[in-house]
Structure 1
Amino acid sequence: MKQNFLMELKKINEQLNFIDLEIDDAVLKCEKSVEVIITTIQNVKKEILRTVFKSVSEEIHFFKEIKPQFTSKRIYYNSVYRIETKKPSGSTRILNKPVVHYE
């Protein structure tokens, strides 16, 4: 059973690498990546509901070691998406202009 989830993890990493190579726009890249991640997490969730763990230690290992690898990818791409969508539009000169704080 552990191998099934590790294969899913490998597959999602390959898909994310492909998206990274194919799409240049950061916002679109994040949107597509999150779609892939959500689909994979749903598939893993369905598999978990159908599967009985062989031991308590195997179940603990899954929820402490394997599952966080899926959810961390979702958190990462959601964070990048929020940063990129809040970034001001403009040329490189405008983006590199320092922000002045008045006190």
Structure 2
Amino acid sequence: MNLHVKIDRGSHVSEYHVNCPKVMTVLNVLEKIYQEHDPSIAYRFSCRTGLCTTCMMMINGKPDLSCQKNAEAGSDGYLTLAPLPKGYTIRDLVKEY
């Protein structure tokens, strides 16, 4: 599956085309982008089980955990990622509260 990803990085939006298996979490897609496309992308994660909430972000316009949410395109054909609206954005998808 070829997934088109848009990441709101504050000052600009980055777009990536990621080849991935049919079922993959948003966190796995971010890791693939980091490893294969852009090692400068900033995001957080810790437990991978949905308990710590450090990977929380806006996914296709709704707040969700990237470690639990399956990666799928929204109505516009893109998997759109952005930081949560509250708090201070340190960089890319990383927030401070």
Q: TM-score, normalised by structure 2?
A: 0.25
Higher gyration radius (CA)? 1
Question: Is the strand fraction higher in 1 or 2?
Answer: 2
Q: Which has the higher contact order (CA 8 A, sep 6+)?
A: 1
Question: Is the helix fraction higher in 1 or 2?
Answer: 1
